[in-house]
Amino acid sequence: MIKVGVLGARGRMGSEVCRAVQGADDMELVAAVDQGDALDALTPAEVVVDFTHPGVVMDNLEWCVKQGLHAVVGTSGFEPSRIDTVRSWLAGSPSGNVLIAPNFGIGAVLMMHFAQKAAPFFESVEVVETHHPNKADAPSGTAYRTAELIAAARAEAGVAPSPDATTSEIDGARGADVEGVRVHAVRLAGAVAHQEVVLGGHGEIFTLRHDSMNRESFMPGVLLAVRKVIDQPDRLVIGIENLLGL
Ligand SMILES: NC(=O)C1=CN([C@@H]2O[C@H](COP(=O)(O)OP(=O)(O)OC[C@H]3O[C@@H](n4cnc5c(N)ncnc54)[C@H](OP(=O)(O)O)[C@@H]3O)[C@@H](O)[C@H]2O)C=CC1
Ligand SMILES: O=C(O)C1=N[C@H](C(=O)O)C[C@H](O)C1
């Protein structure tokens, strides 16, 4: 049995994770911690799952690493400097692996993978994400990571920046610039989590689209990460694509 602790246990994702862990034959939920609870409650856990808030996740993760616990992190906000910081914490701790995944949806991971593959073949590429209006951050972690992967694939292939002759714009009209890739964030009542990657060139437009219809959809990926994080040869893993053999 894998002993699992959940951080953000009363939240939209954390509560779903608690249910999924309780329903898994090979896992035991040993701690459900939320805002105001002491982190010490997590010490019986082998693996801690964090779905909290970008503003608190680094403190949580530092504590887990110092305790030598394995951590599976779904909370967004992991720009490159944060990843470097986590790597430095791990270098100073003897045990415990960390897996940070911008998205645990299998389809979302495939969308990112295919976007990366397609990106060098088109002149233009932009990312449009749509989420529920209670989401704390914009753009989403998934959109940010997708843009990073697209930018890296285009840089490696020597592709020119997406053409854009805009000389006059209302602030924000062209979205955020993530490593040269435009990212647009829509906040919409009724939405859960959705993303389109739109690629254009030579008289054709290619659209990759993924829709998370509910939060249960993330659970197969979360449970897979909990099972696999313990045995990872690399102390820090970004994304579940490696676990899926992509
Ligand atoms: N990787 C993935 O596949 C997915 C990632 N996410 C990400 O997960 C994160 C959480 O999303 P969501 O569940 O919708 O958010 P919620 O706001 O519903 O849940 C977050 C929970 O964490 C609690 N919390 C805040 N601070 C702390 C703390 N210091 N210690 C313990 N608990 C704390 C909150 O309490 P309170 O409300 O009192 O502040 C709340 O109960 C976001 O960053 C989101 O982007 C979401 C879906 C999928
Ligand atoms: O806040 C959410 O809901 C989601 N957050 C993650 C993100 O920021 O990418 C994953 C998914 O998009 C749902």
The answer, yes or no, to whether any atom of ligand 2 lies below 6 A from the CB of 97, is: no
Q: How far is the CA of 168 from the centre of ligand 1 (A)?
A: 38
Q: How far is the CA of 217 from the centre of ligand 1 (A)?
A: 16
Does the annotation flag 102 for ligand binding?
yes
Instruction: Report the C-alpha gap between 115 and 198 in whole angstroms.
Output: 9
Q: How far is the CA of 94 from the centre of ligand 2 (A)?
A: 31
Per-residue pLDDT of the chain (246 residues; tens, 9 = 90+): 999 999 999 999 999 999 999 999 999 999 999 999 999 999 999 999 999 999 999 999 999 999 999 999 999 999 999 999 999 999 999 999 999 999 999 999 999 999 999 999 999 999 999 999 999 999 999 999 999 999 999 999 999 999 999 999 999 999 999 999 999 999 999 999 999 999 999 999 999 999 999 999 999 999 999 999 999 999 999 999 989 999
Instruction: Report the C-alpha gap between 156 and 164 in whole angstroms.
Output: 21
Ligand 2: residue whose CA is nearest its atom 1: 135
What one-character-per-residue DSSP string does 233-244 give? SSSEEESSTTTT
Spatial neighbors of 206 by CB under 8 A, at least 6 apart, are 118, 122, 198, 199, 200
Residue type, 211: D
Which value does ipTM take for this structure? 0.99
If one residue of 75, 103, 127 were mutated to test the ligand 2 pocket, choosing by the most ligand atoms within 8 A of its CB, it would be 103
Spatial neighbors of 129 by CB under 8 A, at least 6 apart, are 139, 140, 142, 143, 183, 184, 185, 186, 193, 194, 195, 196
Per-residue pLDDT reduced to its tens digit, 120-139: 999 999 999 999 999 999 99
Q: Which residues are catalytic?
A: 131, 135
Instruction: Report the C-alpha gap between 142 and 212 in whole angstroms.
Output: 12
